[in-house]
Structure formats: C-alpha cells, structure tokens
A and B are shown apart, each in its own frame.
Chain A
Amino acid sequence: MRLKEILGRMHSRRGWAVFGGAALVFLVLLPLSNSLMTPGSALHLPDHLVSLLGKFCCFAITAVALDLIWGFAGILSLGHGVFFALGGYAMGMYLMLGIRGQGVYRSNLPDFMVFLDWKELPWFWHGFDNFFFALLAALWVPGLLAYAFGYFAFRSRIRGVYFSIITQALTYALMLLFFRNDTGLGGNNGLTDFKQIYGYPLRLPSTQLALYAISAGVLLTTYVLCRYIVTAKVGRVLRAVRDEENRVMFCGYDPRAYKLFVWTFSAVLCGLAGALYVPQVGIINPSELQPSNSIEMAIWTAVGGRGTLVGAALGAFIVNGTKSWFTGALPEAWLYVLGAMFILVTLFLPQGVIGLGTRLMAQAKSRRAGAT
C-alpha cells in the first residue's frame, strides 16, 4: 500500500512509536490532565509553564523550518525572523482589531492610531477583523515575500555566506521600516494589549492551554511534513544541490525551482509559528526583527543537530529553556552563555545534541555486544 510505503520510508516502526508516544504525552495527556485536575495538584502543570511550553513549540516549528533549508538544502538563512515576525504581525492585527472599544481611548480604532490622530483604518488593515483572513495572511505574506526574495537571489546564483548576509540585511531593513510610525503597525511599541482571540479571552488559562495544544499539534504536523519532504525524491535532489549544484543542473534539474520551493515552504511555516506565538506572549513589536533574533534561530538548529529535524526542535527547547532560566536568575550572563553554547557545539558536537545521543547509543550498543 502506498501510505504504508511512505510511512515506512519516513521512519522505522520504533521511530513511529517514539513519535506516537510524544504526541500522546504532549497533545493528549498534558492538556487533559491540566483541564481535569485542579491547579496546585501534582498532575497540573503550572499555567506559566504551559504558556512557556506553547512558546517553545512555536520556536521549535521555526527551528524545524530552518533546518529544512539549512540542513538539507545548504541554504543558511539568517533572516527567518522576518517571516516569523510577519506571521506574528498578521495575527497581531487581528488581535488588535479584536480589542474594539475596550482600549484606553474607548475607540473602535487601535489605540496607537488614536494617539497618532488617525481618523480611519489604513487600507491594508481591512479584512483583519476576520480571524481566517488574518490566519491566511500569516501564511501568504511571508510566503510571497520569501518567493520574491528567493526568486531574485537564486536566479542571480547567490549562494553560501553571501545569501546569509543578504537575509540579515533583509531583516534589518524590515526592522527599520516597522519602527516607523508611518508604516501603520504601531511603530516602536508594536501591537499589544490584546483582549480576546476568536471570542475567547486571552487571560483565561484554558485559552492559553488550548493555544499551547494547537502549537504542539502544529509542531508535530510540521515535523511530519518536513520529514515527508526530506525522505521523498525532493529531499535527495536538495541534498544533491547542497553538495554538487552544477552536477544537478547537468542532470537536467533546475536547482532554482527546488530551492525556491523549499525556501518558500520554510517561510510559510515560520509565518504560522509567528501567528501562534503572538497570542501567547501578548505582544509583537519590531524587536522581533532584530538581526540577532534570526541568528539565535540558527543557533537553536545548530545546537540540536543540523540536518535531523528532530534535533532542530530539540535545540529550540534546550536553548530557550536555558534562556528562560538564565534571564530569570542571571540576566546579564545570558548572551555569554548563548555564545559559549554555540562555540562548544561547533567545536565538539558538529552534529549537535542529537549527534551526541546517537554516538552514545552506538557506544553502548557495541559495549553490550562486546560483553556478551
């Protein structure tokens, strides 16, 4: 059967069992026990941890999307924060219009527009009072920008570090644009003070729990989709492009089409991650577009293990978990710790944490084989 063949290609039975186990715990058991148990009981995860996990899931989606293009197609993007932020802004615009009359100025316009003395909504805000319109925009706006950017970059055969530098420039340029009040997206302060999403108040723990569960579901789906892509022939062509682009062309493939496909797909995933992220943190502002943010995303992927997808997701959890702890305990030290992490991984764990894991497992296996 076709489906069985595809599933078998993607993972071994054991691999699927681990995947199923993770899905059961994070997608079913955790939300279930949190909604059934009373706060304070041992089986109830504290609410702030739930929303932290939800945020991490969004980061992990981004890391997996980044790994798809960096680990498999050899395109290092240092500008994925752009797509994440665009998705976030699209959702933020919906949430902003959802405040409607409950803001400081009791106006139907978002507060920052009243403050700037604008009389009506700018044209591009129209439609964003509809949830599905905004959700779609969170996908197609980053997708379209990525397509246009990639079309010209790949057509001009910009590769390697040059490509990475241009993506940094892209995120910097967009940051400057979004800082301006005239852009109409809240300038410096961005969009914040959200009240409700799709009719559910954002301050309720149950809404946050649902948002977490959706993020976890999207993360698992993202992983399956990306795994499908890298184990299909597309994945083999992309790895071939990464290793020997000229040969791929002389085999009759157009590498640009393949790169453009995977690059755009990755950007769409990032946009979705951003759209899920914003209602959980309650704010989106131009600081998401800082070049260093995009670099941090690459670090998540590198720490976890490039070219493995699972590693990328794991890296996002590890780095951001450490970050949460340090920014609470030793805020000044965090950037040094991040730098040290990156250097250590680059020097000693070229395959990241996942590489270390497989190495240890192989060692244990051979030791067991030696003992018997």
Chain B
Amino acid sequence: MTTMTSTGSLPDAPESEPPTLRKEEPKPSKRPSSGSRRRPRAVDQERLKTLVGGRKAVLCVDAVSVSFDGFRALNDLTLVLDAGELRCLIGPNGAGKTTLMDVITGKTAPDEGSVFLVGHGRDLVGLGEHEIARLGICRKFQRPTVFLGHTVFENLELAMAGNRSVWHALFGRITAAESAAIDAALETIALTEQRHRRAGELSHGQKQWLEIGMLLVQNPRVLLVDEPVAGMTHAETERTAELLVSLAGERTVVVVEHDMDFVRKIAKKVTVLHEGSVLAEGSLDEVQADPKVVEVYLGAPHADG
C-alpha cells in the first residue's frame, strides 16, 4: 500500500487557488420506507451463473430499474464487477451514476431488479443501509462526510469494522489489534499528527483522506467512491489516484468521476452510463472511440452534415 508523505507542495501544485467545492445537487432518493421495503429474496443461483459467466465476479447488478415521478433514472441496468478491479463509471449528468450507487448501498429501493453480492445468499435489495455496509460494501460521498465534532482518531474508531451492537458500544473496549489498525490507517492517510484534532479543523483535502481512511478500516470488499477529487488541488489529486490504484487488487473499487484526466490516470476499465443503462464498456480508449459514446457526449451529428 502506498504511504502518503506529509502535505508538501509539488512544483505544479497551484497553491494560490483554493479548492472549489462543486455543490452537490439534491438528488431525489426513494426512501425504502418500512412499509414498501421488499423482503430480501434468495439469490437465483442459475441467473447469477449466467450473469457472471466464467469471470471472478464480486457484485452483480441485475436488470435494475428506478423511476422518480415518471423519470427513469435507471433503466434495466445490468453490471458485473470483477473481484479486485478498479472500475470507473462515467456518463453525462443524469445518466444514473449516483442513483446506481444509491441502489447498491440500499439508500434507494429499485422498482425492479436485484443486486447480488457473491458469497452472500440473499439479494441485497431490501436490506437496510447499515446491513449492506456490514457486508463490506462501503461508500464515499462526493462531499466529504466525516464526523466534524469527533477527533480524527474517533472518526476512525467509529468506522472500524467489528461489532456494531449497542451492547458492545456500552461495555466493549478497543482492542490492541484495532488500535494498531487505526494507527496504520492514520499513517496511510498522513494524519498521524492530527489524530487528536477535531475533524472539523482539517483542510478539505485532509477531510477527503480521513473519509478514505474510514473506509480502509471498515475493511470493505467493494468500495464505491463518488467524485473523489472534486475540489482537490493538483497534488492532492495525484496522491488520491495513487491511493485508489493501490487499493484495487485486494478490494474492488468503483469510482464515479467527471474529470477525464483523472479517469485516464487510474482506469483500466470504464463503464459509460447513459439514460440509466450501460452504453459502453471497455478501456478508456475503446469507449472514447465508440461512436455511440461520442454521440452522447458531443450531441448527434446533423443528418445533412
């Protein structure tokens, strides 16, 4: 795993330019309200086999559709993620990238379709957010969401994989192994010296890393990362790219990103979404050469030339 060095300015780091935050658009989200929540179904093993084929898959999204007030955010979308790969999801605004993440993590209930985690006997659709997180599917939001009132150490302690019951939180104590794992994560995200500072006092980039550190100690199988470099300086972006690449292999990493340079830096395989379904899949060069993709991004060529 790459160890990040302390924040030094690379020669090309634009120090004068403070990172700007893109404002997150409020996304409609279908709350799986208790009444309408679907009971988790057993996985259809035959169906899973046909989806996966001969690949070493970890997560399958099977024919998922979601509509918000008549707008189809996801339209019969099927996607298979291989174990240990780093996949980039791209697509124009409204293509359904964030909705897809919402469905996988249980924030949004799909109208149809299933999500399978290989090795887990049941469909993920219908499980609560916290149950899916416990299965090892973790998510990083676009806006850094850390616990601002807690110290850096406490943030990592809360995220730490382990017993999440109230009983344990009342009477349990942190083990030496957990403590060591937190120290290691602090090292990786270069926040060892800030461990007792409140997360609210950190810089924007440091908060982004703290959130990545929280995902690390959660020890996920699948890591979903939404626009990790939004608002980061050039140097910070470089290091985030390094970190994400180093994470893949052990884990499956899915990155949603608009920044094509960044995608080029990290991606081996890219999935292009358009109007709620998969438009193209392949290496970045392949999908960029795909006329369908060009059409979506540049607009349809006029018939009369």
Report A's interface with B, CB cutoff 8 A.
155-157, 229, 232-234, 236-237, 239-240, 243-244, 246-255, 257-258, 261
Task: Report yes or no: A251 in contact with B169, Cβ–Cβ below 8 A.
Answer: no
CB distance from A227 to the nearest CB of B (A): 13
Known: A234-B170, A251-B159, A252-B218. A155 touches B164 (CB 8 A): no
Instruction: From the candidates A157, A237, A247, A250, name the one contacting B169 in the complex (CB within 8 A).
Output: A237
Task: Report yes or no: A236 in contact with B164, Cβ–Cβ below 8 A.
Answer: no
Q: Which residues of B contact A236 (CB under 8 A)?
A: 150, 154, 157-158
Task: Report yes or no: A233 in contact with B157, Cβ–Cβ below 8 A.
Answer: yes
Q: Which residues of A contact B138 (CB under 8 A)?
A: 250
Report B's interface with A, CB cutoff 8 A.
31, 33-34, 105, 107, 128-131, 133-134, 138-139, 141, 145-150, 154, 157-159, 161, 164-166, 168-172, 214, 218
CB distance from A28 to the nearest CB of B (A): 30
CB distance from A177 to the nearest CB of B (A): 27
Task: Report yes or no: A233 in contact with B133, Cβ–Cβ below 8 A.
Answer: no
Task: Report yes or no: B139 in contact with A250, Cβ–Cβ below 8 A.
Answer: yes
Task: Report yes or no: A249 in contact with B128, Cβ–Cβ below 8 A.
Answer: yes
A326 to B134: give the CA distance in the assembly, Å.
56
The residue on B at minimum CB distance from A234 is: B169
A93 to B161: give the CA distance in the assembly, Å.
49
A250 to B105: give the CA distance in the assembly, Å.
8
Q: Which residues of B contact A258 (CB under 8 A)?
A: 166, 169
Instruction: From the candidates A233, A251, A254, name the one contacting B128 in the complex (CB within 8 A).
Output: A254
A233 to B174: give the CA distance in the assembly, Å.
9
The residue on A at minimum CB distance from B171 is: A232
Known: A232-B170, A253-B130. A247 touches B146 (CB 8 A): yes
A247 to B146: give the CA distance in the assembly, Å.
7
Task: Report yes or no: B145 in contact with A233, Cβ–Cβ below 8 A.
Answer: no
Q: Which residues of B contact A250 (CB under 8 A)?
A: 105, 129-130, 133, 138-139
Q: Which residues of A contact B168 (CB under 8 A)?
A: 233
Task: Report yes or no: A251 in contact with B157, Cβ–Cβ below 8 A.
Answer: no
In addition to A243-B148, A261-B166, 8 A-B residue pairs with Cβ atoms within 8 Å of each other are A232-B169, A248-B130, A249-B133, A250-B129, A253-B158, A253-B164, A254-B130, A254-B164
CB distance from B84 to the nearest CB of A (A): 22
Q: Which residues of B contact A155 (CB under 8 A)?
A: 34
CB distance from B160 to the nearest CB of A (A): 9
A236 to B150: give the CA distance in the assembly, Å.
8
The residue on A at minimum CB distance from B165 is: A257
Instruction: From the candidates A156, A239, A257, A261, name the one contacting B150 in the complex (CB within 8 A).
Output: A239
Q: Which residues of A contact B172 (CB under 8 A)?
A: 233
Task: Report yes or no: B130 in contact with A252, Cβ–Cβ below 8 A.
Answer: yes
CB distance from A2 to the nearest CB of B (A): 8
The residue on B at minimum CB distance from A238 is: B169
Q: Which residues of A contact B171 (CB under 8 A)?
A: 232
Task: Report yes or no: B154 in contact with A234, Cβ–Cβ below 8 A.
Answer: no
A248 to B148: give the CA distance in the assembly, Å.
13
The residue on B at minimum CB distance from A233 is: B169
A330 to B148: give the CA distance in the assembly, Å.
46
Q: Which residues of A contact B157 (CB under 8 A)?
A: 233, 236
Q: Which residues of B contact A252 (CB under 8 A)?
A: 130, 133-134, 161, 164, 218
Q: Which residues of B contact A243 (CB under 8 A)?
A: 147-149
Known: A156-B33, A250-B139, A251-B159. A234 touches B147 (CB 8 A): no
19 interchain pairs, CB-CB under 8 A? A156-B34, A232-B169, A232-B170, A233-B169, A234-B166, A236-B150, A236-B154, A240-B158, A243-B149, A244-B145, A246-B107, A247-B147, A250-B105, A250-B130, A250-B139, A251-B164, A252-B130, A254-B164, A258-B169
Q: Which residues of B contact A254 (CB under 8 A)?
A: 128, 130-131, 164
